[in-house]
Structure 1
Amino acid sequence: MEQQAIPIALIADYALRGGATGITLLMAGFLLATRPLREVTVFGALFALGAGVYAMLSVEPLQDMLGPAFVPLKLLAMLSPAFFWLFIMALFDDEFAFRTWMAAPPVAIAALFLVCFPFPATERASKLAHVAIVLALMVHILRMTRCNLRDDLVAARRQFTGIVVFLVPLVCLAIGVIEVYELFNLRGGFASPAIAAMLLCVSAAFAFGIAGIRKSLFPQPVASAPQPNGTNSAADRFDLARLEKLMNEGIYLNSGLTIGELANRMNMPEHRLRRLINKGLGYRNFAAFINDHRIEEARRRLSEPETAREQITSLAFDLGYSSLAPFNRAFRERIGMSPSQYREKALATS
């Protein structure tokens, strides 16, 4: 009996999906092996695992083999965009702490997936709502990357940001095509291999971004404020002295001060100033560098009896903040209490 030839498209589909799964599983292991284990590595590993599972779940023979395990694995796959969103937030924020509201997108995605089992008629609406949530998360990621490019001082993370800018549209395209593919129950042709190729590209881009820059992406926990690097060259020490002079003159009080403007004042390339503040002073973010100077000035003014009646809002504007809320937030994060509480405590002991 003549054996039926396996279609080339099917072979390509399985090969591409297998490649994507292999890459993502390796990345998940790499991230989980990184020490110390932090939120950023856990979220990255969950995204990698979810993406790998996503790549293989459309292989029908595998679905039959999985049996009851298919549902939790499919749920993990559906949650992978939410894990990617959490990974990016943790990566770009050195003071990241998981908050209750951050659970809303994964919980919503899980609910939309699970509701289809008791109520099959909701499947189409659930898929459309899932795509809408994913697109909203990707838009937020692009906004975060834009802010990161402006303020980040860590060269490795800035390089990874460029990869994210490429990765996010590709993730959106892949998910959109996959959901449409499943929604209309499309079969045959080269649609499935094309989807598999997109998944492989996403996996490869993520792996390249993570493996290429390694642990420099992940900040080590520190117990104190950034400290100067004792190995600075003579030229660096000279530039650091110039920078300190500018800060002592109060340039940090300028509202909306950017690193580009500061580099112009110092007559040096922006990339060199980024490296100088990062390597020379230990800061990973330009906003943190500016905020530390502003908060130190705020502490001085709040401790003086002569300014005891000054409005906190007026002080925030004088320090260069555009409104009271970011000043209060920055002050509380660094000092552990509100500006008003700090003033009362400082004046009571003076």
Structure 2
Amino acid sequence: MLASSQFFAHLDFALMLMCGVLLFSGIKQNRTILLFIGLMLCGCGYLLSPLFGPLEKLSIVWWLNSVAQNALPGMFWLVSLNIFADRHEPKPWHYLVASMTLVVPTLANISQIIFNYDLHHYPAFFGLVTYGALALELVLISHALIEAIRHSDVDLVQERRYVRVSVIGFVAIYIVIVIVIEQLFHWQWLWLETVKYALLCLMLMVINFLLFALKEGTLFDIAIAKKTSPTTKAKHSPELKRILDCMQKDKLYKEEGMTISTLSRHLGIHEYKLRHLINGELNYRNFNDFLNFYRIQEVAEKLAQNEEQKLPVLTLALDSGFRSLSSFNKAFKNKYGITPTEYRNQHN
């Protein structure tokens, strides 16, 4: 059993290292690739224990293993957020929260060395550090899984939807199972190590296949095609004209909770076909971006009108279909490069 578990552990290490090396050239093209390489390196560090056997406490390899193991859940959460963030960069507090899975256990280890005490002699403090960090890890991984499911609905690229949700979903479930077995219940089973590393090997092979065998941009957005404006006078299919008419004339983008499923039922067009039309003919990869085009256009027109000057920007944003001022400001600035207030001042 030991030989088989070490075999799979060595294979896992090689697959992670190979994945990181092959992705290295794309670091400048996409921030998520850099984080994904970091995730692979954390995975390599996690495997140091089965590769080198029992590690001498406080040795360099022990520290590398400890840091990688603690950083892995937070790094996975950041990768998930970035994959599903599209163009919107996660905020600094996201990185701060993710770092807590590493910082808290590391500080506890360092304090034991400096003050020469055993954490187990202080049950309350031990429980707070151990189970607090464990709870944070499970919350972050669960949130990553929820975000994957939630954002899959607005992704208009069918192949990318399945790949992203599958990769994030399987990795999240795997990490949760390992955390529960190893850290929460401390289960001991004869074939447990072999099964764990064999499943990891299978998952890494699938991820490497998805990354390097499928078309570029399936998991990471390397290059996003230029969107075609829905108002551009181009030859559209009859089905797409119906979609554009319901936006321009019926203003369905203003309806609260408008989703691709709701629009599909309203038009009587299958959801798969609807995604294909908006993505294939207009190059939109995200349904919210499609809706926001009309919302921002409406607000921009009102901001430029003298008679609408007294209306607060928040009122205009909510009336157009946005759910919050922050999301509106971000989308507006992405399009015009200035804030709504600055836009209003320039046109009045």
Compute the TM-score of the two structures, normalised by the length of structure 2.
0.83
Decide whether the 8 Å contact of 1:328 with 1:339 is kept in 2.
Answer: yes
The one-letter code of the counterpart of 1:121 is D
The one-letter code of the counterpart of 2:194 is P
Segment of structure 1 superposing worse, 119-128 or 85-94: 119-128
Q: Where does residue 256 of structure 1 map in the other structure?
A: 257
Determine the C-alpha separation between the residues in 2 that align with 1:204 and 1:122. Answer: 39
Deviations 1:308-350 (A, max 9, x none): 2223333223212334443334323433333333222211xxx
The one-letter code of the counterpart of 1:118 is S
Determine the C-alpha separation between the residues in 2 that align with 1:127 and 1:213. Answer: 41
Structure 2 matches for 1:6-17, cutoff 5 A? Answer: 9-17=1-9
Q: 1:73: Cα distance to partner?
A: 4.4
What SS does the aligned partner of 1:189 have?
A: coil
Decide whether the 8 Å contact of 2:81 with 2:90 is kept in 1.
Answer: no
Instruction: Sort the Cα spacing of 1:297 and 1:15 in 2 relative to 1 into closer, same or farther, 3 A.
Output: same
What SS does the aligned partner of 2:87 have?
A: coil
The one-letter code of the counterpart of 1:163 is V
What SS does the aligned partner of 1:118 have?
A: helix
What SS does the aligned partner of 2:228 have?
A: coil
Determine the C-alpha separation between the residues in 2 that align with 1:85 and 1:10. Answer: 31
Determine the C-alpha separation between the residues in 1 that align with 2:13 and 2:166. Answer: 23
Q: 1:42: Cα distance to partner?
A: 0.9
What SS does the aligned partner of 1:30 have?
A: helix
Q: 1:14: Cα distance to partner?
A: 0.8
What SS does the aligned partner of 1:96 have?
A: coil
Q: Where does residue 153 of structure 2 map in the other structure?
A: 150
Q: 1:275: Cα distance to partner?
A: 1.6
Q: What is the alpha-carbon root mean square deviation over aligned residues? A: 3.1
Segment of structure 1 superposing worse, 130-139 or 308-317: 308-317
Decide whether the 8 Å contact of 1:142 with 1:168 is kept in 2.
Answer: yes
What SS does the aligned partner of 2:216 have?
A: helix
Determine the C-alpha separation between the residues in 1 that align with 2:184 and 2:147. Answer: 28
1:100 corresponds, among 89, 92, 95, to: 92
Structure 2 matches for 1:119-138, cutoff 5 A? Answer: 119=112, 121-122=118-119, 124-125=126-127, 126-138=129-141
Unmatched segments (≥5 aa) in structure 1: 1-8
Determine the C-alpha separation between the residues in 2 that align with 1:156 and 1:121. Answer: 51
Deviations 1:252-289 (A, max 9, x none): 22222111222233332111211221121111110011
Decide whether the 8 Å contact of 1:174 with 1:199 is kept in 2.
Answer: no
Structure 2 matches for 1:181-196, cutoff 5 A? Answer: 189-196=190-197
Q: 1:148: Cα distance to partner?
A: 1.4
Determine the C-alpha separation between the residues in 1 that align with 2:166 and 2:200. Answer: 19
Unmatched segments (≥5 aa) in structure 2: 121-125
Q: Where does residue 123 of structure 2 map in the other structure?
A: none
Instruction: Sort the Cα spacing of 1:329 and 1:34 in 2 relative to 1 into closer, same or farther, 3 A.
Output: closer
Structure 2 matches for 1:280-319, cutoff 5 A? Answer: 280-319=281-320
The one-letter code of the counterpart of 1:264 is R
Q: Where does residue 269 of structure 2 map in the other structure?
A: 268
What SS does the aligned partner of 1:321 have?
A: coil
Determine the C-alpha separation between the residues in 2 that align with 1:112 and 1:35. Answer: 29
Instruction: Sort the Cα spacing of 1:43 and 1:29 in 2 relative to 1 into closer, same or farther, 3 A.
Output: same
Decide whether the 8 Å contact of 1:51 with 1:203 is kept in 2.
Answer: no
Segment of structure 1 superposing worse, 72-81 or 297-306: 72-81
Q: Where does residue 328 of structure 2 map in the other structure?
A: 327
Q: 1:49: Cα distance to partner?
A: 2.0
Determine the C-alpha separation between the residues in 2 that align with 1:320 and 1:118. Answer: 52
Instruction: Sort the Cα spacing of 1:300 and 1:270 in 2 relative to 1 into closer, same or farther, 3 A.
Output: same
Deviations 1:87-108 (A, max 9, x none): 1111112213253212223431
Decide whether the 8 Å contact of 1:312 with 1:339 is kept in 2.
Answer: yes
Q: Where does residue 211 of structure 2 map in the other structure?
A: 210
Decide whether the 8 Å contact of 1:321 with 1:327 is kept in 2.
Answer: yes
Asked whether 1:247 is paired with 2:218, we answer no
Compute the TM-score of the two structures, normalised by the length of structure 1.
0.82
Asked whether 1:50 is paired with 2:62, we answer no
Aligned residues: 331
Q: 1:202: Cα distance to partner?
A: 4.3
The one-letter code of the counterpart of 1:152 is D
1:90 corresponds, among 82, 91, 95, to: 82
Q: 1:54: Cα distance to partner?
A: 1.2
Decide whether the 8 Å contact of 2:77 with 2:140 is kept in 1.
Answer: yes
Q: 1:67: Cα distance to partner?
A: 4.7
Instruction: Sort the Cα spacing of 1:14 and 1:164 in 2 relative to 1 into closer, same or farther, 3 A.
Output: same
